[in-house]
Amino acid sequence: MAVSDPEQAGLSPFGKKFVQYLDERGSGIFSATLCTRDLAGLQENLPETVKNCGPISTWVPQPDGSKIQFSSLFFGQYHLMPWVIEYHSELPDVAIDMRLRSATIQVSDLTAAVGRYRTVYGIPESRVQRTGGAARLELENSFLELKEADPEGLSTVEIEAPGRIIRLAFDNNSVEFAELSIP
């Protein structure tokens, strides 16, 4: 996610927080979002060790005067990546030329983490590949990679865009951006 129009983003409480974040941290992509049709069910299936904040309900105004209503669940602290969203209203038809390619998450206990992520995302065992201290969980159009390593938490996110891949790498509350060409 990124803000293209700070003035318009500031029209909602949700957008105001992002504008404030950009004022403090600078411009660029600042969040990765996962969608679900059952936010409450997802939250119920999270292990107690996964700290989360929410769900928080809000809305975003549209140019035609309508509002898109949704609820969000944040992992860790409010407005930190990644977070999960459930829409409560009809979404506008917007062409999106980017998609999540992968997310890599460091975990302390690979076997337990694979079980938790399979439950939360409804991934059958046949879509899990294990190699050494890692596991790849195939989603519909992307994948999650779990790596047994410290510290626990989100390590990288890759977003595929036309002709390039945007990689976000996380380390000690900092984010490194890189653009890679698609071979």
> CA triplet 152, 99, 84: central angle to 5 degrees?
50
Q: Is the model's pLDDT at 179 over the cut of 90?
A: no
The whole model's pTM is what? 0.59
The domain spanning residue 101 has which CATH number?
2.60.40.4320
Predicted pLDDT at 27: 60
Whether residue 104 sits in one domain with residue 166: yes
Whether residue 68 sits in one domain with residue 2: yes
Number of domains present in the structure of the chain: 2
- Place 52 in a pLDDT band, splitting at 50, 70 and 90: confident
Whole-angstrom distance, CA of residue 73 vs CA of residue 43: 8
Q: Is the model's pLDDT at 87 over the cut of 90?
A: no
Whether residue 42 sits in one domain with residue 28: yes
The domain spanning residue 47 has which CATH number?
3.10.180.10
Whether residue 10 sits in one domain with residue 20: yes
Contact (CB, 8 A) for 115 and 126: no
Residue type at position 69: Q
Beta bridge mates, 67: 61
Predicted pLDDT at 144: 92
For the stretch 95-138, pLDDT in tens is 667 788 898 988 889 999 899 888 877 899 999 999 999 999 99
- Place 29 in a pLDDT band, splitting at 50, 70 and 90: low
Whether residue 61 sits in one domain with residue 20: yes
Whole-angstrom distance, CA of residue 20 vs CA of residue 166: 24
Whether residue 124 sits in one domain with residue 90: no
Q: What is the DSSP letter of 156?
A: E
Predicted pLDDT at 82: 61
Nearest Cα neighbor of 141 from 113, 182, 87, 102 is 102
When pLDDT is averaged across residues 22-38 and rounded to a whole number, the result is 70
Q: By three-state DSSP, how is residue 170 classified?
A: strand
When pLDDT is averaged across residues 8-29 and rounded to a whole number, the result is 75
- Place 76 in a pLDDT band, splitting at 50, 70 and 90: low
What's the domain range around 130?
96-183
Going by their DSSP bridges, the two strands 164-171 and 153-161 should be labelled as antiparallel
